[in-house]
């Protein structure tokens, strides 16, 4: 039995890398960080079927692993994967378990693999970690452009479970800038989000980070609609930046602090987006792509892709139309796969959990979570459309985050009719990818 917060922290490899042996992966991670207690009595029986490849001993309760077959072919790749995750998520693990425990875990896993630990395992070079993890990042791709500056901002409500991973991701992104500051706003939160953010800013191992955490307390009593509260909190970030010395920085990086950035996101893709934004003064912002599909249709405005709010037609659908039919038409049909190799896609609005803006344009705009009729809307639309009047906004395909599962189509939530309909749609997309209509032939 594992705590959910622990599983969310360590279970980050892609499915293809960990299709089997998840139990071995999780139990090893737990032992590395929290230790183990040996219980020598047999507490359960394991059924050994004829094709079992891993536990064919004849004595129940035998020494782990009880197989007489070669175990190294399974053991070594999983331990190497664990070592890779320990390195790539080092900052998140240090925040959760302490720098000493992370260093011990690195030494133990290196000894188990039979390799010496890397020099200073508790403080790996960002470029080296990214290079080992993704095979493409190098010092130049992560650190350039070295002369730019950015304010990172985000709002949190009950995000404590995700913050270690999110903050580690933001820390890697910050390496793309010569100078950074951070503004976080917390509201209506019942967990440790506020204290986690405060500790991260004051982390002595990094010499402390410039920034501020603002606690707005409970907004729900006077702002009952969720989109209105989020807009208020994001505007509080902007107001704090306007009053500070950071108002002269080059960029605003607005990030969601929940599960979108809790998983490793390629820092070289972020650095590439920064360079592209700075490459032409007519460009005002770059917004994130997502895998396996672009999910944030509510914030999306594009004349052909999503010209209007996707939820208003669902909420206002005729009585004879089902919720499932309306959601398939307005949301799922627009959640498309965007290959990372595509050129930027110009939009009026988008977000996807991460946006990089020219700060001067961002400070002239405001977030708004309600429309003229008092209906909830994505707060990003008003903000982005105001910025679009001063320059180009683009979804930048190489800047790819992980789409939250709860925002995507899940077959288990729909009847057989709709599952078949989705299979037909996916087949049609394979023959003619929807993104083709965004580019002239």
- Position 54 scores a pLDDT of 58
What residues form DSSP beta bridges with 310? Answer: none
CB 193 within 8 A of CB 186: yes
| Residue 117 confidence (pLDDT) | 47
- Strand, helix or coil at 355? strand
Sign of CA dihedral 154, 160, 164, 169: negative
- Per-residue burial over 366-399, b = 16 or more CB atoms within 10 Å of its CB, e = otherwise: ebbbbeeeeebbbbbbbbbebbbebbbbbbbbbb
Which among 409, 441, 412 has a CA at the least distance from the CA of 425? 409
Query: Considering the domain 139-438, what is its CATH architecture?
Result: Alpha-Beta Complex (3.90)
Q: Residue 138 has what pLDDT?
A: 36
Q: Which residues of 180-213 are buried (b: 16+ CB within 10 A; e: fewer)?
A: bbbbbbbbbbeeebbebbbebbebeeeeebebbb
Return d(Cα 355, Cα 208) in angstroms, integer: 25
Who contacts 129 (Cβ-Cβ below 8 Å, separation ≥6)?
87, 88, 90
Distances (CA, A) of 137 to 132, 206, 267, 316: 8, 22, 8, 47
pLDDT of the chain, 441 residues: tens digit per residue: 777 878 888 887 776 667 777 888 888 888 888 766 666 566 666 555 555 555 555 554 444 445 555 566 677 788 888 888 888 888 888 877 877 788 888 878 877 776 554 544 333 333 333 333 333 333 333 334 457 999 999 999 999 999 999 999 999 999 999 999 999 999 999 999 999 999 999 986 666 789 999 999 999 999 999 999 999 999 999 999 999 999 999 999 999 999 899 887 889 899 999 999 999 999 999 999 999 999 999 999 999 999 999 999 999 999 999 999 999 999 999 999 999 999 999 999 999 999 999 999 999 999 999 999 999 999 999 999 999 999 999 999 999 999 998 999 999 889 999 999 999 999 999 999 999 988 876
User: In the chain, where are the structural domains located?
Assistant: 4-124, 139-438
Look up tokens 């929290």; give the residue: 34
Closest by CA to 183, choosing from 168, 193, 197, is 197
pTM: 0.69
């Amino acid at each position: 039995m594992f705590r959910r917060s622990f599983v969310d922290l360590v279970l980050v490899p892609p499915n293809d890398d960990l299709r089997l042996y998840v139990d071995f992966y999780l139990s090893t991670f737990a032992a590395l960080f929290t230790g183990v207690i040996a219980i020598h009595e047999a507490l359960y029986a394991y059924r050994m079927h004829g094709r079992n490849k891993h536990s064919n001993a004849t004595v129940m309760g035998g020494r782990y692993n009880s197989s007489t077959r070669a175990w190294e072919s399974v053991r070594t790749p999983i331990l190497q994967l664990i070592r890779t995750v320990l390195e790539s998520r080092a900052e998140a693990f240090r925040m959760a378990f302490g720098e000493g425990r992370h260093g011990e875990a690195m030494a133990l896993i290196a000894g188990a693999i039979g390799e010496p630990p890397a020099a200073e395992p508790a403080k790996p070079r960002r470029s080296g970690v990214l290079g080992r993890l993704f095979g493409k990042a190098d010092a130049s791709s992560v650190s350039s452009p070295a002369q730019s500056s950015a304010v990172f901002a985000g709002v949190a409500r009950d995000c404590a479970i995700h913050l270690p991973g999110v903050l580690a991701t933001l820390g890697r992104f910050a390496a793309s800038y010569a100078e950074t500051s951070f503004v976080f706003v917390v509201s209506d939160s019942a967990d440790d989000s506020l204290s986690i953010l405060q500790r991260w800013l004051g982390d002595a191992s990094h010499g402390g980070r410039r920034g501020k955490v603002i606690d707005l307390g409970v907004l729900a009593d006077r702002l009952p609609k969720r989109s209105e509260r989020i807009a208020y909190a994001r505007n509080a970030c902007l107001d704090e930046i306007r009053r500070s010395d950071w108002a002269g920085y080059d960029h605003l990086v607005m990030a969601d602090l929940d599960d979108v950035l809790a998983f490793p996101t390629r820092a070289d893709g972020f650095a590439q987006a920064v360079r592209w934004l700075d490459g032409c003064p007519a460009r005002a912002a770059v917004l994130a792509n997502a895998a396996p599909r672009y999910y944030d249709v509510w914030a999306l405005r594009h004349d052909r892709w999503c010209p209007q709010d996707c939820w208003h037609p669902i909420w206002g659908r005729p009585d004879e139309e089902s919720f499932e039919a309306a959601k398939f038409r307005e949301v799922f049909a627009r959640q498309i796969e965007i290959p990372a190799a595509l050129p930027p896609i110009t939009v009026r609005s988008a977000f996807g959990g991460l946006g990089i803006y020219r700060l001067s344009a961002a400070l002239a705009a405001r977030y708004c979570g309600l429309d003229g009729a008092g209906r909830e809307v994505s707060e990003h639309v008003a903000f982005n459309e105001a910025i679009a009047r001063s320059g180009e906004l683009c979804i930048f395909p190489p800047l790819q985050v992980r789409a939250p599962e709860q925002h995507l189509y899940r077959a288990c939530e729909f009847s057989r009719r709709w599952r078949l309909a989705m299979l037909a749609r996916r087949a049609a997309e394979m023959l003619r990818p929807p993104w083709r209509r965004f580019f002239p032939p």
